[in-house]
Structure 1
Amino acid sequence: MGNVLEVRSLSKSFGGIRAVRDVSFDLKRGEFLALIGPNGAGKTTCFNMLNGYLRPDTGSVKLLGRELVGIPPRKVWRMGVGRTFQITETFRSMTVLENVQMALISHNRRIFDLFSKATALYRDEALKLLELIGMAAQADRPCAELAYGDLKQLELAIALAHDPDLLLMDEPTAGMAPNERIALMQLTADIVARGHVSVIFTEHDMDVVFAHSHRILVLNRGELIAEGTGDEIRANALVQEVYLGGGSLFHEKETAHA
């Protein structure tokens, strides 16, 4: 199974603060990778370099062998890198279906098509994406009526509209109720398993991380201090020390059900 993403010696400083230091890792096709660490560890900075929002001081980011460093975010998006954000962004006055149609219209470069009615474009494709995330029954509902968990699911469909090879999810379950978190991450894991996309996500909820990720990267003060499976990360003494002050990453009761 080949690598979708290859990151080598990625570093970024802001003045005298080294936010990310010499980070290297690979992401395989069909892999669900968690990026964790304490607040200020450099997770978001790392994310922002992967999709072009920040240019690294040093290092390389290659998607399917193509260098991304120095390419503007919109072009990185065109090359196959999608992203969801902590705070959802949808057109509240539009329906669920129309939001996905707009993403498809943008992907297919039809934004400035003055001769076609937008609501008629890519309707079938949008409905298929809504079926994929389990929201086809809500296609005609205005986004303003949706619960927060549903908005997060819709955002996932929007991110998948341009058929990315890599999807970056920055704290996807932030602000969600426990049952909503489980549902969203299980949905994402199912999509990954079907081979639609490879995913890197940041997350503070360790239940989510250990339940769904194939592999975990741990950052601390900008440095990659550990990587491995959930069991390997749980057993890593350095991770225990820097991440939770020597406490357990997972309670025994929770571990039994992992």
Structure 2
Amino acid sequence: MSRVLEVAGLAKSFGGIHAVSDVSFTLDAGELLALIGPNGAGKTTCFNMLMGQLKPNAGTIRLLGRDIAGMAPRRIWRLGVGRTFQITATFGSMSVRENVQMALLSHHNRLLSLFADAGRQYREEAMELLALVGMAEQAERACGVLAYGDLKRVELAVALANAPKLLLMDEPTAGMAPRERVGLMELTASIVKQRGISVLFTEHDMDVVFGHADRVLVLNRGRLLAEGTPAAVRDNPLVQETYLGSGAMFAGEAS
């Protein structure tokens, strides 16, 4: 596999609080890597540094060999990093297709022609992405009337519009019913394997983590506590002790 992401010595402090300290990991093409940890472990801070919302105090973030640490989010997005959010970010008054077309227009740097003929541009490409995530039949519906699970699929199509090499997914199944969670992660895993996309995702549902991740990173108080296969992390006594002591989190009782 080709190495897509290399993070070394990543650190971020806010005043005297060390949110992330000396975090290092790698991610290969087509790999799903889960980033888990208790609330306040530093997961969101890591995500925000990878996407450019925060500038690291120390460390390197290499995307296909290029250091992107401290770059503006739009530059990072243009280099091939996509992101989905815990709370879906779509335009409710626009159709499903138009939401994806907007992302394609931005990717192709055509937003200046938005008010001229936006409805005709990249229509076929948008429909292909919607078919990929199982939303083609709902292409003309307004996003504001969709069920939450369907919105998550639309958001995935939008995130794929810039042909990402790396996809960051912040709690992709949050707010979804159990069956919807499984369906979305199975779909995501199929797409990333097919297209060779690397995925780093945070998730509180341990069934999702251990059922779909290739590897798992565990953060605690900003530091990397453990790394390995789902089975190895599940059985790690230190990980179990750090979470709840009883290991209840790994039985679907995460908060």
State if a TM-score over 0.5 links the two structures.
yes
SS at the partner of 2:144? helix
Q: Secondary structure at the match of 1:59?
A: strand
Residue of structure 2 equivalent to 1:90: 90
**SS of 2:26's equivalent?**
strand
Deviation at 1:115, TM superposition (A): 8.0
CA contact (8 A) 1:149 1:176 kept: yes
Instruction: Provide closer, same or farther for how the CA distance between residues 97 and 196 of structure 1 changes in structure 2, counting only shifts above 3 A.
Output: farther
Residue-by-residue CA offset, 1:228-258 (whole Å, 9 max, x unaligned) = 011100111110100122325534xx9xxxx
1:140 is matched with 140
Deviation at 1:116, TM superposition (A): 4.2
**Residue in structure 1 matched with residue 165 of structure 2 by the alignment:** 165
Quote how far apart the aligned CAs of 1:135 are: 0.6
Question: Which stretches in structure 1 are left out of the alignment for 5+ residues?
Answer: none
For the 8 Å contact 1:234–1:248, the answer to whether it is kept is: no
Q: Deviations over 1:59-85 (max 9, x none)?
A: 000000011012101101001111111
Letter of the structure 2 residue corresponding to residue 156 of structure 1: L
Q: Report the Cα offset of residue 113 of structure 1.
A: 1.8
1:52 paired residue number: 52
CA-CA distance at 1:195 after TM superposition: 2.4
Shift in Å, 1:29: 0.6
Q: Which amino acid aligns with 1:55?
A: K
TM-score when normalising by structure 2? 0.96
Partner of 2:64: 64
Residue by residue over 1:25-61, the C-alpha shift from the partner in whole angstroms, topping out at 9 and shown as x without a partner, is 0001110000000000000000101111100100000
Partner of 2:175: 175
On the 8 A contact 1:234/1:249 being kept in 2, the answer is no
Distance 2:31 2:114 in 1: 40
Q: CA deviation at 1:162?
A: 0.5
| Identical residues among aligned pairs (%) | 65
**What do residues 179-210 of structure 1 show as CA deviations (whole Å, max 9, x unaligned)?**
11111111111111112411000000000000
SS, match of residue 182 in structure 2: helix
Contact 2:29 2:196 in 1 (8 A): no
Q: What SS is found at the alignment partner of 2:112?
A: coil
| Residue equivalent to 2:215 | 215
Looking at structure 1, the residues matched to 195 and 101 of structure 2 have their Cα atoms a distance apart, in angstroms, of 23
Instruction: Say if 2:235 is the partner of 1:235.
Output: yes
Greater fraction helix? 2
Which range moves more in the overlay, 88-97 or 202-211? 88-97
Q: Which amino acid is the alignment partner of residue 51 of structure 2?
A: N
Structure 1 pair 245–162 and aligned structure 2 pair: CA distance change class (3 A): same
Contact map agreement 2:8 2:60 (CA 8 A) in 1: yes
What's 1:24 paired with?
24
Q: How many residues align?
A: 252
8 Å Cα contact 2:49-2:70 kept in structure 1: no
Q: Distance in 2 between matches of 1:76 and 1:127?
A: 25
